[in-house]
Structure 1
Amino acid sequence: MLKELQEEMQMTKVEVFQMGEEKEVAEAKCKDVEQERNQLKKELEDLRAVSDAYKKQLEEL
């Protein structure tokens, strides 16, 4: 019985370790997605500024 409990504890420790690794991977992916979102947001702002400049030029013509 004691041996079974020790084996279960070891298996649980392995599962906890794996879950910790999975958490780190998920956090890294979230960070990457957040950086990409920020980059896309900046690009969109830049495109809007260019679009506004073109609209202003067209109005002047």
Structure 2
Amino acid sequence: MNWFEIGFLLFLAAGLWGVFRIFYRRAGGPTHCVCCGKCTATGVCILTGRPVTDSGEKAHGGS
């Protein structure tokens, strides 16, 4: 391989890494509300299994 091929492969890898970071930057973080409304009915979030407080419902936008 010459330097142009190596440079192109590095450019391609950097582009794929950048796209991955844009789409999956919060994949490892906390789960966000999907606004299903179950937490207001049961008081427990179906995604995390944790009890939801009144302030959490307001922050999640639950109705």
TM-score (norm 2): 0.47
TM-score (norm 1): 0.48
Larger Rg: 1
Relative to total residues, which structure has the larger helix share, 1 or 2? 1
Greater relative CO (CA pairs within 8 A, separation 6+): 2
